[in-house]
Structure 1
């Protein structure tokens, strides 16, 4: 809580059936981070009763208008009812905010229906908060995974785009504060029930949402007590399919010229299941004199997400375009990719399970002993954990592929190779054509906690221009243990590794490793994967739309994975030399301890007539990090291939622990000035220095060296009998990363012409230094008496950059229209962002002993930044009907600078999504409605950059569900 009333009593709602405009705004402000310089009593109290969509927009508008810096807000239209199905989806309606639709910002191969992260004004360095306090997920990031937060627990969401000195530091792009409800928010008892039945049309699945809230307050002889209990549970099942154009090479085509041509393609189908469980309990007490208020809150967010993926793909060189292929001016358009030699495609089954848990305990004590002093004490304890199990089993088969990219969704048809005498139907249903090729396991088990305490003291001056002086201190200690095992690929069977083991239980070489004398073995299970409705039936033909894939039970649990593959000699994570805690190398377990000490001083001022209002202040923060980890070298001691003695000595699997420390000290001045030059017009200028601290994953103290081994077959027996280490590579963290710094400039003009009516325009500029980037550099490393050149790739600070842009926003209800037409309303906003001198590069490690790094592409755009985004929302609220139709669109943007498969930058193409809802008030207490997402069945497309000139060619196409929900809400 922050500045409350400049009086002997804190601000409290008065008895009324519905929330008053300024009362609810003041309650939400009181629960926020302390960035509100104006006290609640300075707001102009009006007896305006609001509710529903109109009330939510009015509250958000008041929060923006009365703020001490540049803010946008979202308010729940009903108890337990944000205007979208998730916090992320609601945030995408805010000017300057874009959400990521992929499972991770650097994973362009896996889609997610509800989004996975945000950028604010083109940058991901956004601080996240619960009720103005720290919050985080125990992953490699620093902030909260918004997609894991139950939206039913939120009362309002604030997006701060600049800073005041009393705000906790850490967001260059801004701060997003999630506010939960409190029992003192309302004078009356509140009981709310919310139920929904979700249906996803592509997955053809239904799943429930349930939430409930109880809130009440009681007067006693020792003061007033309040209690709020809120619970939420939401499940969603959905599906997406993808078609992917694989690695491309620049080929000289006879009679055509040089054209980019794929060497492989891929199709995938993925079934996802997500569950969010959450709840919070809040107890409040106020003494009879209303000079002391205490708030105790516990909040829990428990989210799980699982997905199962099947398909056909290849990361290796596979095929050559047929002579009758068709090309445009840049790339291959259609033709057949004919199999080369002994190459194969992977027929695979992959399953990922993730659970994220966040628990937040807090205590707040607010003291207003007299008219002059406000004292606030706040304590918090957060603990979080993240667990991930990711398993993959690859079958393999030889197949040609007909490809036609000249369609809205490409047509890809896998066919039997020319060497087969079987029909396509016979070929793809015959287990004798599939062998078990490889497997992969990956585990993560991370946990963290934070203890934080802060004290804020405000002295109210009320003398001329001087309103109050506010100061405070904060101490926070965060510790996190990240256990992150590598993506551990290992061969199951191959011609070069002892022969192939086929799905039908036959081995293709002489008996070995427990194989029966007749060449058979006990094969794991497989099953038919029906692709009849792939991409809604528009694209793929495979053996009557059926392929064989490894059995899903192989990846249903880690124990089943290990048991099912035990006959192959697969070297799982737990069998590696030197593992601790069952599965992890010491270098994969990183302990990070961070101490944050901060203090600030801020002066709130304003002219006697309130025409000029502002604040000026400075914040000092000192952050110390200690990271424990080490270095690990590859293990080639059991390699079946003959290697030189020095490579075997260097690659002995050794690991060495180490601990590193770093400290940063920052002075963060800020000034915010608001000029109310007309009753309905204001302008503001905000200037502040801001910092963003590196993600904890990038601070990890680790260096993991791997060896790239190339073998050679000299006897024509398909078995390599000579080998050489072509190069050594290392992925690394950087415990010495400095914070990114920026000077943020904002200027706005805002016109508030009605209770729900505003036009606002803003300019912003960010001058940044110590930019975070990925770097590649050669380093001499010595192990076991042998020195080798290792190409290290990891995070670094580099260069300076700037971001500039502007935002426009408009909202209005057309009350002057006659009758039912007066229920029409509209929201619209547009954001333009441009970045300059961004030190973004696509980096390949240097080869051999080259003394300099080799850069493939430089001058790439800022990752995650769309130059243009806009929202158009049509609203209707009249009598008992409320409806909304919302369109969100963003221009193309860079998804990742370096895709793990193609090593190329991948761009998400421009696109939008149409969502809608309609609700009907059955009575004063009940309403029923329908919500819908992705009404236009949008296709998400990506492209890859293939040269320094910026040439882009087709990469992927994703089709996902339209989502519908039947909703029933009750409020008493």
Structure 2
């Protein structure tokens, strides 16, 4: 009892109902059709149970009802499924789909704006992994759904959670499920008109507040649904609209990688700090129509649109110096332990070059889905279903950075273990605009478009008696087109310290901000970093930085800055600034078709309480990519080319055979064991299949051509090529196994516990490899180039266990308390031979041992409790995941110094966040509540490991605690 009371105020938003795996995979719509209606003996018992527990309406409005229904779904499912449902219409347990997914066992999320970027924190989270794998298939009502981001999956943060009725995560699969989920499949469910007995109206309004950004943002949603009996049969119509807005602020501090200086001391390159303001607007609209002209026929049509506008801007101060020249000022107190810097004053001759920038990112994404389908029941044992779907997605974004430069006299740094470090500079120096110069500009543009047409048809026949209880089969055809334009990051210097002895007059000071009165101090401001790190780290110092309007003024502002700087150059760097062109060189065109067919047999022995299914799915994939081959532009090798281009029309075809087996056995009352085996695939992202290759011809290192040389022989050249894509990639593949034991110790009150063991054996990883490839020269001969690009190579194994428990403490004298908890353990091993780009190298050139798979935490945990009694509904939920590898050599953690190319592994430290809500129901129609996120003011940290200098925390982030005052009404 004492333990129960101590956790009584904890709550994990209840796991709730999901369609059975085969039903969702087939795209079933509406509760009346959630499970194919069959009168055969194999379904009669389940249908009777559902009818007995069916309420007047199928809307789950209570936490206990949600948990109990989730229990029923898990118990009755024919494969491994975990789900969460909205406790009210338009009310998933969290403010975003991404956060909701993190509550499900085996599912984790990143808290960074983009995967592999450790420098930008995300309040709502990003990057969903299932059992440690990012190759996750995304679905909407059992059909394809995706964002136009160069990949194949949906960006879950783009989707309004207010439109969702629930989320299902499939850990294994049946032959009837659509292929592509190597880690798992996430299905987003919406309501349908036949989910309700008659008219339904629901609305909610929220006012969101972040205590760090100190801004209010509204959210609202409204749903109307009704159904009618007409002379043409029963009809239903539903419309659902949502608008959600959010503003947050994140402050971060960084200590950069350590280098061994001339004195033999390991010293950090320097320290940075930054403030990021984030603002997003998420809109959604959804309509659904259902028509039942007769008892044997159901028809439906849906239209879904999600729009996402994300804007963030960042003031950053960062080191841009030569790390090998940093030294510890001997005139100031310092602490060196074991040859590794702990605290002191960092400096270097001529001052430490730093950059101060304003970075603005604006992105617009839209996904539209039109779907229609039918279900036709032929007699009492056969039904035919068919659906047609069209999906269209677009993304347009601009990421613009304008930076100043300054050479600060010193940086004071004091490292204090896991606490934020103390950082200080000469404020008198940084507060004087005369000490700055224009540093660089950088733009990154994305313009993506994708569309797909998909059709499927299925037939399901059941038998009343015998071991074989049903046969299913079907076909699915897709036609998908993607046109993605990504310019990359176009970094162009204005003035840099290394130009002083090259492009500028030797040794003169870098030109100041006022360049002949053309670009002056009116374009910058003094950033004082008010309330920095919520007062928890002090104010490192105020800096001048460009105004936000300067970054948003691209391309005019870029042209003005570079034009004003050009007269200062004395050699080859002068010239009119050229805008980044969205041309064919940056374009990736892909056209993919798939042809799938499956057959599945359902079997069972009723007396032994044994059931299962076995089947096979075959899918043929054809892909065509269009792009360009760029020949070398080496004046001393005219026979190789002169930079001209040739079209590439790459075509790739492959067939995958995907068997599956699922078994379920209730060997004792309320004790069920399950086993599943399946073969899964994950096709490469479209960004990994771009048909684009640049060829290079460089003079051998150390060789100087004699004067007057016009042509070099082949043995004096190095022929290479690097590419981030390969149009001939084939899918990653996995053999996956699940084995579980489920104990329903209190089946009438939602009490259950389970343990699930899983194994994935993965092959054909996507990793870079160097191979000799033959290309023609302009002289008609063929030449071999050493090409580095991604190929299918390497293996991995992932093993783990998921443990869960739900219980209501009805034995307590005070009713209404309950608890839910789940824990996941994952271990991975990888073997990737000949990998040339993902191998970490320390700043002294030393290598590392094996590293875990990126994005994979060994441990993750959800612990929660709730109180629901009378008008009150209180819940608290804690979500935690252990350390995991973010990236190898991301921005700020790679370079070449002392002729040593280095790239460091960066890990996200363990992170846990506490969320909660309190609601009061005035009556059965209206409730008012407070929803809260990040109540524990969690600090996200990242870690870098270096061989000689050891483990270091490299960054610290704090974010808002968010509150939403919410009013909900249902009629």
TM-score range, shorter chain: 0.7 to 0.9
How far residue 48 of structure 1 moved from its aligned partner, in angstroms, is 5.9
Alignment of 1:401-416 (within 5 A): 401-406=411-416, 408-416=418-426
Distance across 1 between alignment mates of 2:385 and 2:207: 43
The reply to whether residue 964 of structure 1 matches residue 963 of structure 2 is yes
Moved more, 310-319 or 609-618: 310-319
Distance across 1 between alignment mates of 2:503 and 2:521: 17
8 Å CA contact 2:21–2:77 kept in 1: the answer is no
8 Å CA contact 2:287–2:302 kept in 1: the answer is yes
Cα root mean square deviation, aligned:
3.4
Structure scoring higher RCO (CA < 8 A, sep ≥ 6) equals 2
The reply to whether residue 816 of structure 1 matches residue 811 of structure 2 is yes
How far residue 709 of structure 1 moved from its aligned partner, in angstroms, is 13
Equivalent in the alignment of 2:437: 435
The reply to whether residue 148 of structure 1 matches residue 158 of structure 2 is yes
Moved more, 144-153 or 749-758: 749-758
Equivalent in the alignment of 1:131: 141
Equivalent in the alignment of 2:316: 311
8 Å CA contact 1:504–1:523 kept in 2: the answer is no
Match of 1:836 among 811, 816, 829: 829
Alignment of 1:187-336 (within 5 A): 187-251=197-261, 260-287=266-293, 289-317=294-322, 319-323=326-330, 324-329=333-338, 331-336=340-345
The reply to whether residue 497 of structure 1 matches residue 534 of structure 2 is no
* Residues 23 and 730 (structure 1), Cα distance of their counterparts in 2 relative to 1, 3 Å cut: closer
How far residue 842 of structure 1 moved from its aligned partner, in angstroms, is 7.8
* Residues 670 and 321 (structure 1), Cα distance of their counterparts in 2 relative to 1, 3 Å cut: same
The reply to whether residue 864 of structure 1 matches residue 855 of structure 2 is yes
Q: Deviations for 1:574-596, whole angstroms, at most 9, x for unmatched residues? A: 9899x9xx822423111101111
Q: Deviations for 1:835-870, whole angstroms, at most 9, x for unmatched residues? A: 123439984599xxxxxxx99445221010001111
Distance across 2 between alignment mates of 1:694 and 1:404: 45
Equivalent in the alignment of 1:80: 90
Distance across 2 between alignment mates of 1:498 and 1:430: 24
The reply to whether residue 795 of structure 1 matches residue 786 of structure 2 is no
How far residue 569 of structure 1 moved from its aligned partner, in angstroms, is 6.6
Secondary structure at the aligned position of 1:371 is classed as coil
How far residue 297 of structure 1 moved from its aligned partner, in angstroms, is 0.2
How far residue 803 of structure 1 moved from its aligned partner, in angstroms, is 0.8
Secondary structure at the aligned position of 1:62 is classed as helix
How far residue 292 of structure 1 moved from its aligned partner, in angstroms, is 0.6
Distance across 2 between alignment mates of 1:878 and 1:284: 36
Distance across 2 between alignment mates of 1:845 and 1:880: 55
Secondary structure at the aligned position of 1:957 is classed as strand
Distance across 2 between alignment mates of 1:131 and 1:682: 28
The reply to whether residue 170 of structure 1 matches residue 172 of structure 2 is no
Match of 2:124 among 114, 122, 143: 114
* Residues 266 and 444 (structure 1), Cα distance of their counterparts in 2 relative to 1, 3 Å cut: same
Equivalent in the alignment of 2:818: 825
How far residue 537 of structure 1 moved from its aligned partner, in angstroms, is 2.1
Match of 2:544 among 540, 545, 548: 548
8 Å CA contact 1:442–1:486 kept in 2: the answer is yes
Match of 1:534 among 526, 532, 535: 532
Alignment of 1:249-648 (within 5 A): 249-251=259-261, 260-287=266-293, 289-317=294-322, 319-323=326-330, 324-329=333-338, 331-341=340-350, 344-399=353-408, 400-406=410-416, 408-416=418-426, 424-425=427-428, 427-494=429-496, 495=500, 496-498=502-504, 505-507=513-515, 515=516, 525-542=523-540, 545-565=541-561, 567-568=563-564, 583-609=581-607, 611-632=609-630, 645-646=635-636
Equivalent in the alignment of 1:18: none
Distance across 2 between alignment mates of 1:265 and 1:356: 35
How far residue 127 of structure 1 moved from its aligned partner, in angstroms, is 0.8
Distance across 1 between alignment mates of 2:865 and 2:303: 37
Alignment of 1:24-39 (within 5 A): 33=26
Distance across 1 between alignment mates of 2:372 and 2:949: 53
8 Å CA contact 1:261–1:332 kept in 2: the answer is yes
Alignment of 1:752-767 (within 5 A): 752=744, 753-754=746-747, 755-767=749-761
Equivalent in the alignment of 1:693: 683
Equivalent in the alignment of 1:955: 954
Equivalent in the alignment of 2:725: 733
* Residues 880 and 564 (structure 1), Cα distance of their counterparts in 2 relative to 1, 3 Å cut: farther
The reply to whether residue 937 of structure 1 matches residue 937 of structure 2 is yes
Secondary structure at the aligned position of 1:864 is classed as coil
How far residue 331 of structure 1 moved from its aligned partner, in angstroms, is 3.6
Distance across 1 between alignment mates of 2:424 and 2:918: 44
The reply to whether residue 807 of structure 1 matches residue 802 of structure 2 is yes
* Residues 107 and 153 (structure 1), Cα distance of their counterparts in 2 relative to 1, 3 Å cut: same
Secondary structure at the aligned position of 2:850 is classed as strand
How far residue 775 of structure 1 moved from its aligned partner, in angstroms, is 3.7
Equivalent in the alignment of 2:743: 751
TM-score (ref. length: structure 2) = 0.86
Distance across 2 between alignment mates of 1:970 and 1:28: 32
* Residues 911 and 368 (structure 1), Cα distance of their counterparts in 2 relative to 1, 3 Å cut: same
Distance across 2 between alignment mates of 1:137 and 1:25: 24
Secondary structure at the aligned position of 1:603 is classed as strand
Distance across 1 between alignment mates of 2:698 and 2:121: 31
Distance across 2 between alignment mates of 1:431 and 1:726: 47
Distance across 2 between alignment mates of 1:471 and 1:457: 6
Equivalent in the alignment of 2:709: none
8 Å CA contact 2:227–2:235 kept in 1: the answer is yes
Q: Deviations for 1:328-387, whole angstroms, at most 9, x for unmatched residues? A: 447422111103336510011111111111000000111013112100010000000111
8 Å CA contact 2:203–2:969 kept in 1: the answer is yes
Distance across 1 between alignment mates of 2:151 and 2:586: 16
* Residues 729 and 266 (structure 1), Cα distance of their counterparts in 2 relative to 1, 3 Å cut: farther
How far residue 267 of structure 1 moved from its aligned partner, in angstroms, is 0.9
Distance across 1 between alignment mates of 2:438 and 2:150: 33
8 Å CA contact 2:22–2:177 kept in 1: the answer is no
* Residues 24 and 871 (structure 1), Cα distance of their counterparts in 2 relative to 1, 3 Å cut: closer
* Residues 776 and 22 (structure 1), Cα distance of their counterparts in 2 relative to 1, 3 Å cut: closer
Distance across 2 between alignment mates of 1:610 and 1:970: 47
8 Å CA contact 2:628–2:646 kept in 1: the answer is yes
* Residues 107 and 37 (structure 1), Cα distance of their counterparts in 2 relative to 1, 3 Å cut: farther
8 Å CA contact 1:844–1:855 kept in 2: the answer is no
Equivalent in the alignment of 1:714: none
Secondary structure at the aligned position of 2:754 is classed as strand
Secondary structure at the aligned position of 2:416 is classed as coil
8 Å CA contact 2:671–2:741 kept in 1: the answer is yes
Equivalent in the alignment of 2:765: 771
Distance across 1 between alignment mates of 2:944 and 2:805: 36
* Residues 829 and 688 (structure 1), Cα distance of their counterparts in 2 relative to 1, 3 Å cut: same
Secondary structure at the aligned position of 2:248 is classed as strand
* Residues 778 and 332 (structure 1), Cα distance of their counterparts in 2 relative to 1, 3 Å cut: farther
Distance across 2 between alignment mates of 1:725 and 1:331: 43
How far residue 652 of structure 1 moved from its aligned partner, in angstroms, is 6.1
* Residues 810 and 22 (structure 1), Cα distance of their counterparts in 2 relative to 1, 3 Å cut: closer
Equivalent in the alignment of 1:919: 919
How far residue 650 of structure 1 moved from its aligned partner, in angstroms, is 8.2
Secondary structure at the aligned position of 2:668 is classed as coil
Secondary structure at the aligned position of 2:74 is classed as helix
How far residue 684 of structure 1 moved from its aligned partner, in angstroms, is 0.7
Distance across 1 between alignment mates of 2:777 and 2:354: 38
